[in-house]
């Protein structure tokens, strides 16, 4: 029975080593997950901060531009209205007053053209004069808001803020891509390509679950060792034979259920093959 005791002591030591190695792998995975979560939060907050700053600077830039566009639009509309009134006057006066009316119409037309040119040069378009009494896409207020927003996008302060927001977004995407690569690399190192491919890395198959199974196996082996040590030699031999037969059957059922685990990072940086807990007789 001394050989059996020595064999069980060796199996207990092996099970404890595997439990410790899987627990170390679980710690590596947990530390990576937390590190990735912290980096994700930092990068995401940087994006939110840059976007908030962009919105603030954009609103600050637009407000005075809207006021100026409204004023310029009113100047143009007033000039256009005076031209229209002068045109109507030329059709309402008699022959003797016609020449004076035409001069007033010409003067008003010149002012309207000058106002139009100035607004075009400043804003790229002119508002609707509202002559027909209804609001349109180019009515003064919506026109002013639109052209002000368009010009605000070209201001240096807004352009710089947009570049910062774009950079923060790109850095977040790069961080996420790196996290996916690092998570995949560590998963392959811990579980091996086969288990990773078939998804045997979650629930009871994850590193914590496997460490727990190895600890449980070590406990079962210690109980079995204590039992045979306490029994007389004859009875102990019978227990060993029965246990080996039962374990052989259990191993046959489990052999395909627990695939070999390869390349788990060890304390020394090396990798080695191992399998899940086996029977007492292995």
φ, ψ for residue 261, nearest 5 deg:
-105, 130
φ, ψ for residue 274, nearest 5 deg:
-155, 170
Between CA 138 and CA 77 the distance in angstroms is: 12
pLDDT of residue 254: 63
CA distances (Å), 167 to each of 44, 46, 219, in order? 12, 10, 55
CA 187 centroid distance within chain = 20
For residue 280, give every residue at least 6 positions away whose Cβ sits within 8 Å of its Cβ, in sequence order, or none: 8, 11, 220, 221, 224, 243, 244, 247
Helices (runs of H) and strands (runs of E) counted in the chain: 7, 0
CA distances (Å), 9 to each of 73, 226, 241, in order? 94, 11, 17
Tell me the average pLDDT of the chain.
83
pLDDT of residue 278: 43
pLDDT of residue 213: 93
For residue 265, give every residue at least 6 positions away whose Cβ sits within 8 Å of its Cβ, in sequence order, or none: 24, 25, 28, 189, 190, 271
Between CA 187 and CA 203 the distance in angstroms is: 14
pTM over 0.85? The answer is no
**CA-based torsion, 145, 151, 156, 161: positive or negative:** positive
pLDDT of residue 270: 40
Between CA 169 and CA 46 the distance in angstroms is: 8
pLDDT beneath 50, residues of the chain: 259-263, 266-275, 278-282
Alpha-carbon Rg for the chain, nearest whole angstrom, is 42
- Contact between 147 and 44 under an 8 Å Cβ cutoff? The reply is no
On the CB side of 19, CA atoms within 13 Å amount to 14
């Amino acid at each position: 029975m001394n050989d059996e005791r020595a064999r069980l002591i060796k199996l207990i030591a092996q099970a404890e080593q595997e439990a410790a190695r899987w627990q170390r792998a679980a710690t590596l995975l947990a530390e990576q997950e937390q590190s990735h979560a912290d980096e994700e939060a930092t990068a995401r907050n940087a994006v939110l901060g840059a976007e908030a700053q962009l919105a603030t600077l954009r609103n600050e830039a637009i407000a005075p531009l809207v006021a100026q566009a409204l004023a310029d639009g009113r100047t143009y509309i007033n000039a256009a209205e005076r031209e229209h009134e002068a045109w109507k006057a030329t059709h309402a006066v008699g022959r003797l007053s016609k020449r004076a009316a035409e001069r007033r119409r010409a003067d008003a037309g010149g002012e309207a053209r000058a106002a139009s040119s100035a607004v075009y040069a400043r804003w790229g378009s002119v508002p609707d004069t509202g002559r027909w009494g209804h609001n349109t896409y180019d009515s003064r207020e919506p026109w002013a808001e639109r052209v002000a927003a368009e010009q605000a996008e070209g201001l240096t302060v807004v352009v710089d803020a947009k570049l910062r927001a774009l950079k923060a977004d790109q850095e977040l995407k790069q961080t996420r891509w790196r996290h996916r690569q690092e998570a995949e690399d560590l998963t392959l190192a811990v579980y091996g390509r086969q288990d990773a491919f078939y998804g045997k890395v979650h629930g009871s198959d994850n590193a914590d679950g496997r460490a727990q199974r190895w600890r449980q196996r070590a406990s079962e082996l210690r109980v079995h060792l204590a039992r045979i040590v306490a029994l007389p030699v004859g009875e102990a031999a019978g227990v060993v034979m029965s246990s080996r037969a039962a374990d052989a059957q259990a191993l046959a059922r489990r052999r395909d259920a627990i695939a070999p685990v390869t390349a788990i990072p060890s304390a020394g940086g090396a990798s080695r093959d191992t399998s899940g807990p086996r029977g007492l007789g292995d």
